[in-house]
Chain A
Amino acid sequence: MVVPGLARYVVAALLILLAGLPAAQAHESRPAYLEIKETAPGQYALLFRTPVLAGRRLPLVLSLPAGVKELRAPVVQELTDSLVERRWIDAGPDGLAGQRVDIKGLQFTITDALVRIELLDGRTVQTIARPSQPWVEIAATQAWWEVMGTYATEGIRHILFGVDHLLFVLGLLLIVGNRWMLVKTVTAFTVAHSITLAIATLGVANVPALPLNAAIALSILFLGPEIVRVWRGETSFTIRHPWVVAFAFGLLHGFGFATALTSAGLPPQDLPLALLSFNVGVELGQLGFVLLVLAMERSFRVLEIRWPRWVEALPGYAVGTLGAFWTIQRVALLIAAWR
């Protein structure tokens, strides 16, 4: 049966959850980036960028196939948020074709590595190495639909881990009154974040991360009081026109999504397709979340469940409380950075 000490673990689990809250940012899913570029037949320039999380770099080591010679000494450059390692190698007459480059240590992390391989024959391959498959094979040719698949998956993962975005969507769902308004609101949010995602990823405009994060947190906090107004039967501009708010804040969230793509240092030439697929992935994930919430709500209605009032209030309080928490925390970070 339940051993003594179990309670301690339960408390510890909750503490981990609560302590983990700050970690629940769009930024956390920042991947590593590996670029392999064939400069001359059989010779490659490698660029490997590992993110630095909380001042510590991820313990990732590139492991090249046997028989590969270093042409020059590797260069390591430390940036504020990442570590960039450059290597130049000679893989003999056959090159790296059919060979595997391992990213050692990736399997012990929760990070993905975006990989871009550029070969002399004009092929460019984009793929993602994951903890479950911490390597890339050079031979793999990647058709356009594979690029799409890779980035669409990345988009879905990104939104499903970006708890702040989901919480904002949840807040919108709690505000909208009817189905038509829901469609308008979700569409407005989608259009808005697609616009800024494209703008930021294509490098047209950029927003510094710290104020952006604070603003995103603020957008969630903003919804809290509006939800309370809905409960009280009051009305406001947001309640009458939630799609306007969804559009305005959607612009912010789009910049947030973009950090996932741009902080990886994606090279610009393949961006349109990758961007489109990433966006499609984000929309799919978002739509899935909305549908799940609606389906659950419907199920509760069909099963005729009468929730106690505090349970009904929970999602609203979750949005407001977490919004406030993140706002304070991120503003504190912003101020700290200013000094």
Chain B
Amino acid sequence: MKGACALRVRSRIAAVLAMALACGPARAHLQTSGMGPVCDGLAHFLTSPEDLVPALALALLAGLRGAAYGRSAMFTLPAAWLLGSLAGLSAAVANAGTLGASFWFLLLGGLVVADAKLSLRSMTALCAFLGLVHGYLNGSGMGLSAAAIVAALGLTAAVFVLVSLVAALVVQLRAPWARIAVRVAGSWIAASGLLMIGWSIRGV
């Protein structure tokens, strides 16, 4: 029992070390962005609006609801994202296009605009669902390899950092206009989603 626990702790330490070491270790082998797979995962997340914006919207939403929601989002979303991408690694490449992302834009942006008073449980469920779906889509492009798993870890780290920074930033906002600025950002996200759905209908 004790041994198993120690093992789990050790594997977590290894995982966190992996984060801390970021780009270093992978340099020797892999190529693409020239930064190693951890940074590839990180860069992928930061350069893909279809992943970045829904995560951002969720962080805004959680931040509007307060610290407890922020805590939930900052652990649930990355964890689900990691699980989703690991599950997706072995899948055939599934290209969802942007339609799925558009609906996420619309839904999450709309919730931010409405300053929706979700329950903590539904918020967590939303995080888990978004993470699993987007993680799965991310993972399915990568192919099953050790490097892909490292990249998934990098991606997860990026999600974690983004959500905790943004959620904490919003939690701190007290001025009414600042909270409204957050809701305006939500309306931008929802509006982009609506336009994107339009493009999909048009078949661009």
Assess A/B contact in the complex (Cβ within 8 A). Answer: yes
The answer to whether A16 touches B21 (Cβ under 8 A) is: no
A8 (CB) vs chain B CBs: closest residue = B146
Please choose the segment from A19-27, A62-70, A188-196 that sits at the chain B interface, where 4 or more of its residues have CB less than 8 A away.
A19-27
Chain B residues, CB < 8 A from A53: 28
Nearest Cβ distance between residue A107 and chain B, in whole angstroms?
A: 8
Decide yes or no: A315 and B20 within 8 Å by CB, A9-B146, A20-B28 being known contacts.
yes
Residues of B contacting A131 in the complex (Cβ-Cβ under 8 angstroms): 31-32, 34
A residues 5-35 with Cβ under 8 Å of B?
5-6, 9-10, 12-21, 23-25, 28-29
Within 8 A of B (CB), among A300-335: 300, 302-305, 310, 314-315, 317-318, 322
Closest to B152 in A: A13
Contact B27 A21 (CB under 8 A): no
Chain A residues within 8 Å of B34, by CB: 110-112, 130-132
B7 sits at the interface (CB 8 A): no
Interface flags for B150-170 (1: CB within 8 Å of A; 0: not) read: 100100000001001101110
Q: How far is the CB of B142 from chain A (nearest CB, A)?
A: 11
Q: Is A109 an interface residue (CB 8 A)?
A: yes
Q: Does A57 contact B (CB under 8 A)?
A: no
Chain A nearest CB from B6 CB (Å) reads 10
Contact A303 B146 (CB under 8 A): no
Q: Does B95 contact A (CB under 8 A)?
A: no
Interchain nearest-CB distance for A19 vs B (Å): 8
**Looking at B18, B148, B168, which has the most chain A CB atoms within 10 Å of its CB?**
B168
A29 to B18, CA, bound (A): 19
Please tell me the size bucket of the interface on B: 35 or more
A230 CB-CB contact with B under 8 Å: no
Taking a contact as CB atoms under 8 Å apart, the answer to whether B17 and A318 are in contact is yes
Given known A-B contacts A23-B28, A299-B167, A314 and B144 have beta carbons under 8 A apart:
no
Interface presence of B30 (CB below 8 A): yes
Question: B14, A2: Cβ atoms under 8 Å?
Answer: no
A216 interfacial contact with B, CB 8 Å? no
Tell me, yes or no, whether A123 is within 8 Å of chain B by CB.
Answer: no
Indicate if B185 sits at the interface (CB-CB under 8 A).
no
Could you tell me if B25 and A20 are in contact, using CB atoms closer than 8 angstroms?
yes
* B181 in the interface (beta carbon within 8 A): no
User: In the complex, how many angstroms separate the beta carbon of A298 from the nearest chain B beta carbon?
Assistant: 7
Within the complex, what minimum Cβ distance (angstroms) separates B59 from chain A? Answer: 10
Question: Which of B46-54, B83-91, B186-194 sits within the interface?
Answer: B83-91
How far is it, in angstroms, between the C-alpha of A108 and the C-alpha of B68 when the chains are bound?
46
Q: Check if B122 is an interface residue, CB within 8 A of chain A.
A: no
- CA distance in complex: A79, B144 (Å): 39
Whether the pair B144, A9 counts as a contact (CB closer than 8 A) is yes
Asked if B17 and A17 make an inter-chain contact with CB atoms under 8 angstroms apart, the answer reads yes
Contact with A along B48-65 (1 / 0, CB 8 A): 000000000000000000
Task: Name A's B-contacting residues (CB within 8 A).
Answer: 1-3, 5-6, 9-10, 12-21, 23-25, 28-29, 53, 107-112, 130-132, 160-163, 167, 170, 292, 295-296, 298-300, 302-305, 310, 314-315, 317-318, 322
20 contacts between A and B (CB under 8 A): A5-B144, A9-B145, A10-B86, A13-B153, A14-B14, A20-B29, A28-B27, A110-B27, A110-B30, A110-B31, A110-B34, A110-B35, A131-B34, A163-B20, A163-B21, A163-B23, A295-B165, A302-B67, A303-B167, A310-B9
Name B's A-contacting residues (CB within 8 A): 9, 11, 13-18, 20-36, 67-68, 70-71, 74, 86-87, 89-90, 144-150, 153, 161, 164-165, 167-169, 171-172
